[in-house]
Structure 1
């Protein structure tokens, strides 16, 4: 295994729990807002009393935290990820009340703030897991959790094989004895059927593999490339129009200015990426295209959500697909570089 490949190793179970937390949180926000709109925003309570759903969110998050503190094994961590995600979704859905003096649930930029929180959570969590990686002491810690699950009757063959694989990568002479003891413990005892934690990890891995197969397909990559071309052309046209003074419309507020500037930056990065896609190097082109989509996701889409609320959802979905397609292409190129060495594409 090369150094680059080793750096990309991570705790897949931890990543699956983070994904589960965020999926539960996002689904909760969508379902809550849809339910409230369909029922005319009912009030839970009577008279001046109103039990806001942020309270239920806090209760669920507290319950998830306490469950992790008092229970052993990894199964409770999966359940806590779901309960905590639902609780966080109920909490962050009322962010409009917390940032306005008149406690306005319908504060227009609230959706943009919620979106920003979820994106930052996702990026920071993935980066943290990737940076921690799987050094020998962490391999021992994860395998120890598997032994705990075995004692509780929660371990299944999928997670046992994963733990044994981690122990096989331990190279520190001071930890090889511990790794051998853990390996012996994992080899003993009967295993139950596939557990909740392994189902989550297996489902996530299956979805990821299928999604990457689709995103790596030639037709999908060409469609995404066409979208980058359209983006670069539209940016060039908008710059030309602005220089010629053909469009006399004025920018109404700061959000319009940010959307305009960030769109131009994203378009310029896309144009640079397309240039290097033709002239090389290929990896530089892909990274510029990825930077273009990141600007769109983390800047342009935030302010579009603030302006249009759910009307910007379609653009967000397209940007996510473009980002994932470029990410898969970069990973494939990195893997090829690990095997063949640094060569031009």
Structure 2
């Protein structure tokens, strides 16, 4: 006879894996953190250069702004830990982002033995740190959808945070959308809970918000213009080739003999070569596969943004911000055209 097989014993609760509940607006908080940090670094560098690189302190003391950065990061974390709701989380993300910007701006002092604030690769390190944060933000934004339990938990969090000051109609609609499909019992309970929360009128639109919205609409409008597509394609084909030729000419004429960061120059050259190959392949595929061609153009820009610009900032310091802005705009144009072409593809038969 075969021995009887006993059913597996359930694991104790403390042995089960506990997955933290994700916040529905997590990507927005990360984005606020990154943007405030980037603005802080650029503002600090611009101010210090305009003021002649002043120092706070005297009598042998030097109060580095990395200390203020650590303090502001602690304040931002404290705001998010102490207060409830999306507003304090956003405020904590912005304050923490400003602190992180002050902190990372002095990275050159902590990766060199001589504590050199002007260490050339520091600009590339700063850019790489923010690029990784942007990738993390996009990964959080593009992850799988929230589970039903997470949607209910976020709906409750939004509702309870509105108990002291009330909820706007927009917030109420967002809560009901979160629990949609969770079952009649949950939906009815949420409606009753919302009825118990006071209503609040939406706050007036700030003047800076109007200008930000107008600028955002202008950028979207520009990136969707069809007449911009072909100049962008030409630029993608010409720009990396010009970079490669310029480096070769500098090597031939001896201009690069004074360059201290040869590794960064090789990185710029490698990124330009990869971008050129991808762009040429995309141009070759334009006639027979436009969707695939613009996918290659998009990949070429991503290679330059995530790899080439790290070395570009090392070589050109913060003068590379202009090139970064151009690349971001080109990525917007290419992405908009790729999406348009993808929507026009005929649906595959099942």
Shorter chain as denominator, the TM-score bin is 0.7 to 0.9
* Residue 68 of structure 2 corresponds to residue 56 of structure 1: yes
**Matches of 1:136 and 1:88, distance apart in 2:** 34
SS in 1 for 2:45: helix
Count of equivalent residues = 323
Shift of 1:18: 2.2
Note if 1:96 corresponds to 2:108. Answer: yes
Note if 1:184 corresponds to 2:173.
Answer: no
Work out which of the residue numbers 48, 53, 59 in structure 2 matches 1:47.
59
Shift of 1:62: 0.7
Quick one: structure 1 residues 98 and 108, their matched pair in 2 at CA, closer, same or farther if it must change by over 3 Å?
A: same
User: Aligned to 2:298, which of 290, 298, 314?
Assistant: 290
Secondary structure of the equivalent of 2:25?
A: helix
Q: 2:240–2:276: 8 Å Cα contact kept in structure 1?
A: yes
**What corresponds to 1:329 in structure 2?**
337
Deviates more, 1:125-134 or 1:305-314: 125-134
How far is 1:146 from its partner? Answer: 1.5
* Structure 1: gaps spanning 5 or more residues: 1-9
CA distance in structure 1 between the aligned counterparts of 2:214 and 2:26, rounded to whole angstroms: 16
In 2, Cα distance between equivalents of 1:195 and 1:70? 23
Q: Which residue of 2 aligns with 1:220?
A: 228
Q: 1:251-262 counterparts in 2 under 5 A?
A: 253-262=262-271
Report the equivalent of 2:309: 301
Judged with a 3 Å threshold, the aligned counterparts in structure 2 of structure 1 residues 320 and 231 are, in CA distance, closer, same or farther, namely: same
The 3-state SS of whatever aligns with 1:262 is helix
Other-structure match for 1:72: 84
Residue 29 of structure 1 corresponds to 41
Is the contact made by 2:67 and 2:103 (CA closer than 8 Å) also made in structure 1?
yes
Which secondary structure state, in structure 2, belongs to the residue aligned with residue 64 of structure 1? helix
Alpha-carbon distance in 2 for matches of 1:214, 1:89: 30
Secondary structure at 1:147's aligned position in 2? helix
Of 140, 155, 172, the match for 2:167: 155
Aligned to 1:7: none
Q: 1:111 Cα shift? A: 1.2
After superposition, where does 1:159-174 map in structure 2 within 5 Å? 159-168=171-180, 170-171=181-182
Q: TM-score, normalized by length of structure 1?
A: 0.82
**Alpha-carbon RMSD:** 3.4
Higher relative CO (Cα under 8 Å, sequence separation at least 6) belongs to 1
The Cα offsets for residues 232-257 of structure 1, whole Å up to 9 and x where unpaired, read as 7648x859x97xx9984577622222
- Contact 2:72/2:95 (<8 A) preserved: yes
Contact 2:163 2:198 in 1 (8 A): no
1:288-335 CA deviation, whole Å, 9 max, x = no partner? 111100111122221111011122222211111111222233334455
Aligned to 2:17: none
Asked whether 1:122 is paired with 2:134, we answer: yes
The structure in which a higher percent of residues are helix is 1
Quote how far apart the aligned CAs of 1:202 are: 10
2:274 matched residue in structure 1: 265
- Stretches of structure 2 that go unaligned for 5 or more consecutive residues are 1-21
Bigger CA radius of gyration? 2
* Runs of 4 or more consecutive aligned structure 1 residues displaced over 4 Å after TM superposition: 195-210, 232-235, 249-252, 333-337
Kindly state the Cα deviation for residue 118 of structure 1 after the two structures are TM-superposed.
Answer: 0.8
Give yes or no for contact 1:73–1:152 (8 Å, CA) kept in 2: no
Distance change (3 Å), C-alpha of 1:100 and 1:210: same
Greater shift, 315-324 or 203-212, is seen at 203-212
Tell me whether 198-207 or 140-149 shows the greater mean CA deviation. 198-207
Indicate if the aligned counterparts of 1:15 and 1:129 stay in contact, CA closer than 8 A. yes
Once residues 304 and 186 of structure 1 are traced to their aligned partners in structure 2, the CA distance between those partners, rounded to angstroms, is 53
Distance 1:328 1:275, change over 3 A: same
